[in-house]
Amino acid sequence: MKKTIYIIILVMMALWLWNSSLWTKPDQSNSTKLLSHRGVHQTFDPTIPDNDDCTALLIDEPRHQLIENTIPSMEAAFNNHADIVEIDIHPLADGHFIIFHDWTLECRTNGAGTTSKTSLIELQKLDIAYGYSHNGGKTFPLRGKGVGLMPTLRQVLANFPEKKFLVNFKGNKTQDGVAFANFIKANPQWRQSIWGVYGGGNRPVQAALKETDSLPDYSLRGYSRSSTKTCLKNYALTGWSGMVPEACHNMLLPVPINYAKFLWGWPHKFTNRLNKAGTDVILLGPHKKSNSGSTGIDDKETLAKVPHDFSGYVWTNRIEKIGPLLKADDHGPLSPRYRRCDDPE
């Protein structure tokens, strides 16, 4: 009996040593990068709303006048050290892709109807800041600030030719992914600007990846809820061996920060393994069952939990706060332990 116990202890110790990052150096060629969700935007508490709630009526008291998914908000995000900006797209009947979050227009704008079924001319006349209120509809401090600010994908990419974007499919239709792939094929000058694609639904993501797979000198990566679950499940079963399952190759992998510590080899051995398999890790904020929307690394306390020299991407809803905390203006990445403690709110 004692011999069996000793063997079990030895096996457990061997597994721990094999998967420990204590003696593993982070990938120096892939330092911590920042992914700005929706650019600089009006925030809300993601634990409050249900999926069908109008979040424009639940925003925090505005700290600025920028609106998500607009060119000014993207420019502000890049100016605050974002490496990637996440944008939401809808295909229109005329072949354009419009950048806007909601399926319908009533919540955020002075318009009505389904976003994808409205003409581009009508969409670009709307005030996309019309519906924002921090006090339940008593006042609307941003009205008039968003007139004509809903951009197309072409306008965004033309305005930021050297920047990179993560594209979010707002629907779950295969044809949306095919249409996006056709856009990529027809515009090779913008291929390198599309860092990746994702969506709650798997169909458009898989269609876009499949349709662009044969393009020369270009590899589109992405993820969905389905591909993320498959990768993490398979890695949980085999990651102890150091092997990265095929389901985790050449993709983007979002990981909630409160679950990350349970991954084999976290942090540096894990990210090194995934990087070698062609996959970038995106570190999200803590996942809770009550969350509606994307939780990010949005405050000093959560940022302090990001591993030092983390070789992946940090997802944030507060790039204007997290960017200056993590990076210096002229000196590249700082030692986060000092900057995070010293910077004010």
- Beta strand 97-99 with 33-37 is unpaired
Residue 41 vs residues 6, 75, 199: alpha-carbon distances, Å: 56, 12, 20
For the chain, the structural domain boundaries read 31-342
- State the pLDDT at residue 13: 67
- State the pLDDT at residue 5: 73
- State the pLDDT at residue 17: 63
pLDDT tens, per residue, the chain with 345 residues = 777 776 666 666 656 566 777 667 776 667 899 999 999 999 988 777 666 789 999 999 999 999 999 999 999 999 999 999 999 999 999 999 999 999 999 999 999 999 999 999 999 999 999 999 999 899 999 999 999 999 999 999 999 999 999 999 998 999 999 999 999 999 999 999 999 999 988 999 999 999 999 999 899 999 999 999 999 999 999 999 999 999 999 999 999 999 999 999 999 999 999 999 999 999 999 987 655 556 899 999 999 999 989 999 999 999 999 999 987 533 344 444 434 334 434
Q: Tell me whether the omega of the peptide bond preceding residue 267 falls within 30 degrees of 0, making it cis.
A: yes
Inter-residue contact 250 to 277 (CB < 8 Å)? yes
Element (H, E) at 313: strand 313-316
Inter-residue contact 69 to 99 (CB < 8 Å)? yes
CATH domain 31-342 topology:
TIM Barrel (3.20.20)
Token representation of residue 6: 């000793």
Q: What is the dihedral of CA 133, 139, 144, 148, to 10 degrees?
A: 20
Read off the DSSP letter of residue 252: E
> In angstroms, rounded to a whole number, what is the distance separating the alpha carbons of residues 71 and 155?
9
